[in-house]
C-alpha cells in the first residue's frame, strides 16, 4: 500500500513539475539565437541554424522557438543603430504551431504587424520578456515591434509552408548542376557563388532553367536572368545575400519575356545597393518573396524599370529606401522610351525607413505610366528620410513623383492598411530629385489623370508636421515649359486615425496646391 502511495506521489510530482515547466515563461539566452537544424519525423515542420559563415552583427537580442525548436535568426544594423533580426521556418499548412518569442530586455508593450492581415489563433504575454503566438496558417510574415521602437530592434519572422514542389534529390546536401533537368540546386548549408563559378559571383540563369534554394540554404552572391521565357524560375525557401564586398543588384531580370521568382529570401547585408531590379521585362511574376535590406541608403527593395504585364504577389519588402520604386530609365525623351504599364501588386507587406513605400518615379523616362494597381496590401512603417525629416515634398507612403514630363494614367490604390507613416499621399511634378542630385527635364508635355485611392486606412499619427498629409501638385510651366495638370483624383473611404475624409477642405489637404489640381472627388464610401 505504501509502495503504491509512493508511486502515486512520484507520478503527481512529475506531472506537477512538467506542468510548471510548461507554464514557465520562455527565457532569453543570446546563444539560442543561432537556432538549430531540426526536421520533424513526419516532415510537418523544420527549423534551421544560422550559417556560421554569415557575418552577424553583435549578439542576438531575440530568441524564437517553434514547438520548442529554436529558429536561427540573422541580423543587420539599421541607420539608427538598431539590430534588425529576421528568420524563417517551415510547417505544414493547417497544422497548429506555437511560436515562443523572448527579448533580451523587458517588454512593456508590443505590436504585431500587419495584425489585420494575419491569421493568428492567439497572441499572449507569457512573461516580462516573452510572448507566444499560435497559428495554423503558413506563408505568413509576422513583424514584432517592441516598446514602440520602430527604429530599433525589430523582428521579422517568415512562416513558410513546406515546399512540396521541391526537386527530389538523392543527396540533398551541397550544390548540384543537373543538365538533364536544367536545374541548379543548392541544398541546406552555405554556398559561395564565387567559389562555385570561379570567374564571377553572379549566376546567370539561362532560359528555361530552374534555380532552387532549399530550406536552410544560404547562397552568397548574385543571380541574373536575361531574355528568358516562361518556365525560367528561381525558387525555394533559402536565403540569397550579398554584402559590401560587391554592392551590386542581388537579383536582376533584363529584357525577359517571362520568369518566376518564388519563396526565397533576398538580403543586402551591410551594403547600399538595390536588392532586386527588373528592366524592360514582360510577364515576370514574384510570389511570396521576402526582400530585406536595412542599411542607408539606395537599398531599394524592388525596382521596376520600363516593364509591362508583371505581377508581384504576397511579397514582403523592408528597405532603407524605396520599398517599391517603379522607374523609367530609358534613353532620350520620355515619349521615345518604353512604356511602364499593366503592373499588379497584391498582398504586399512593405516597410521603408526612407523615401516611399509604393513609389512611382522619381526617374521617369517612360512614355506613360498606365494601369498600375496596388491592392489588398499593408504598409507597416514608412519614414520620409532619416537625415532630412519633413524637408522633402515628394516623400510619402503612396507616392508619384515625375522629374521628367510624361503621362500618368489609371493608377489605383485599393484596400491598403497603413500602420505607421509620415506623409500619406503625394503626387506631382518636380524639377529634380534629392536636392538636385538627379536633374529633371519638364520641357516635354505630361500630366496625371484618373488616380484612385479606395479603402485606405492610416491608423496612427506620428506627430510630425507632415503626418498623414495629402500633397497634390501640378507643374507651373516655369522656364517656358508646358504646364502639367492633375485631373480626376478619386478618394473613396480614406480613413485617417479612424475618421473618414469627407471633402477637400479637410486639414489632410493642407499641403495640396490646387492651382493645377482639379476634379478631385472625395466620398465616404466606394
By 3-state DSSP, what share of the chain in percent is helix, strand and coil, each rounded to 5? 10, 45, 45
Q: Which fold has domain 28-161?
A: Dex49a from penicillium minioluteum complex, domain 1 (2.60.350)
Cell digits of residue 246 = 560587391
Which residues 6+ apart lie within 8 Å of 180 measured at CB? none
C-alpha cell at 455: 479603402
272-523 belongs to which homologous superfamily? Single-stranded right-handed beta-helix, Pectin lyase-like (2.160.20.10)
Closest CA to 113 of 418, 398, 374: 418
Domain boundaries defined on the chain: 28-161, 272-523
The residue with cell 500602420 is 419
Query: Do residues 358 and 352 lie in contact, with contact meaning Cβ atoms separated by under 8 Å?
Result: no
DSSP assignment string, 233-244? EEEES-EEEE-T
CA angle 30, 36, 41 (to 5 degrees): 150
**Tens digits of pLDDT across the chain (526 residues):** 454 444 444 443 333 333 333 434 578 999 999 999 999 999 999 999 999 999 999 899 999 999 999 999 999 999 999 999 999 999 999 999 999 999 999 999 999 999 999 999 999 999 999 999 999 999 999 999 999 999 999 999 999 999 999 999 877 789 999 999 999 999 999 999 999 999 999 999 999 999 999 999 999 999 999 999 999 999 999 999 999 877 899 999 999 999 999 999 999 999 889 999 999 999 999 999 999 999 998 999 999 999 999 999 999 999 999 999 999 999 999 999 999 999 999 999 999 999 999 999 999 999 999 999 999 999 999 999 999 999 999 999 999 999 999 999 999 999 999 999 999 999 999 999 999 999 999 999 999 999 999 999 999 999 999 999 999 999 999 999 999 999 999 999 999 999 999 999 999 999 999 999 999 999 998 8
Contacts of residue 437, defined as CB under 8 A and 6 or more positions apart, other chains included, come to none
* Residue 195, SS3 per DSSP: helix
Closest listed residue to residue 223, CA positions, set 204, 241, 210: 204
Evaluate if pTM is beyond 0.85.
Answer: yes
Amino acid at each position: 500500500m505504501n509502495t503504491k502511495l509512493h508511486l502515486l506521489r512520484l507520478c503527481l510530482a512529475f506531472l506537477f513539475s512538467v506542468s510548471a515547466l510548461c507554464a514557465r515563461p520562455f527565457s532569453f539566452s543570446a546563444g539560442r539565437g543561432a537556432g538549430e537544424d531540426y526536421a520533424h519525423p513526419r516532415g510537418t515542420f523544420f527549423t534551421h541554424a544560422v550559417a556560421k559563415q554569415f557575418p552577424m552583427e553583435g549578439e542576438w537580442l531575440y530568441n524564437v522557438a517553434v514547438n520548442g525548436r529554436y529558429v536561427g535568426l540573422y541580423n543587420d544594423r539599421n541607420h539608427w543603430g538598431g539590430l534588425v533580426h529576421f528568420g524563417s521556418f517551415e510547417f505544414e499548412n493547417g497544422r497548429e504551431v506555437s511560436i515562443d518569442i523572448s527579448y533580451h530586455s523587458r517588454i512593456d508593450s508590443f505590436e504585431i504587424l500587419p495584425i489585420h492581415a494575419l491569421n493568428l489563433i492567439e497572441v499572449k504575454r507569457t512573461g516580462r520578456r516573452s510572448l507566444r503566438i499560435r497559428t495554423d496558417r503558413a506563408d505568413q510574415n509576422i513583424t514584432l515591434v517592441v516598446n514602440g521602437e520602430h527604429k530599433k530592434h525589430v523582428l521579422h519572422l517568415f512562416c513558410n509552408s513546406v515546399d512540396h514542389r521541391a526537386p527530389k534529390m538523392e543527396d540533398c546536401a551541397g550544390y548540384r548542376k543537373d543538365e538533364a533537368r536544367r536545374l541548379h540546386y543548392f541544398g541546406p548549408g552555405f554556398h559561395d557563388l564565387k567559389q562555385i563559378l570561379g570567374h564571377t559571383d553572379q549566376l546567370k540563369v539561362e532560359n528555361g532553367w530552374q534555380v532552387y534554394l532549399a530550406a536552410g540554404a544560404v547562397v552568397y552572391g548574385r543571380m541574373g536572368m536575361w531574355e528568358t521565357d516562361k518556365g525560367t524560375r528561381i525558387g525555394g525557401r533559402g536565403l540569397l545575400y550579398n554584402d559590401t564586398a560587391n554592392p551590386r543588384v542581388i537579383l536582376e531580370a533584363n529584357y525577359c519575356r517571362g520568369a518566376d521568382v518564388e519563396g526565397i529570401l533576398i538580403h543586402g547585408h551591410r551594403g547600399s545597393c538595390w536588392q532586386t531590379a527588373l528592366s524592360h521585362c514582360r510577364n515576370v511574376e514574384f510570389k511570396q518573396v521576402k526582400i530585406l535590406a536595412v542599411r542607408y541608403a539606395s537599398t531599394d527593395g524592388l525596382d521596376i524599370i520600363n516593364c509591362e504585364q508583371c505581377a508581384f504577389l504576397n511579397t514582403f519588402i523592408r528597405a532603407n529606401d524605396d520599398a517599391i520604386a517603379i522607374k523609367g530609365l530609358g534613353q532620350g525623351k520620355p515619349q521615345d522610351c518604353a512604356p511602364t504599364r499593366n503592373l499588379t501588386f497584391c498582398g504586399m507587406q512593405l516597410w521603408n525607413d526612407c523615401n516611399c513605400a509604393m513609389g512611382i518615379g522619381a526617374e521617369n523616362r517612360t512614355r506613360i505610366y498606365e494601369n498600375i494597381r496596388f491592392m489588398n496590401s499593408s504598409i507597416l512603417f514608412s519614414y520620409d528620410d532619416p537625415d532630412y525629416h519633413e524637408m522633402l515634398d515628394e516623400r510619402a507612403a503612396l507616392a508619384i513623383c515625375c522629374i521628367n514630363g510624361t503621362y500618368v494614367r489609371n493608377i489605383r490604390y485599393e484596400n491598403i492598411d497603413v500602420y505607421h507613416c509620415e506623409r500619406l499621399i503625394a503626387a506631382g511634378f518636380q524639377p529634380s530629385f534629392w536636392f538636385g542630385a538627379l536633374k529633371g527635364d519638364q520641357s516635354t508635355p505630361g500630366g496625371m489623370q484618373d488616380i484612385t485611392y479606395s479603402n485606405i486606412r492610416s491608423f496612427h499619427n506620428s506627430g510630425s508636421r507632415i503626418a498623414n498629409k495629402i500633397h497634390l501638385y501640378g507643374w507651373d510651366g516655369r522656364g517656358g515649359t508646358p504646364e502639367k495638370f492633375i485631373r480626376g483624383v478619386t478618394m473613396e473611404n480614406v480613413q485617417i486615425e479612424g475618421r473618414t475624409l469627407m471633402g477637400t477642405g479637410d486639414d489632410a489637404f493642407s499641403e495640396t496646391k490646387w492651382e493645377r489640381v482639379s476634379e478631385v472627388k472625395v466620398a465616404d464610401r466606394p
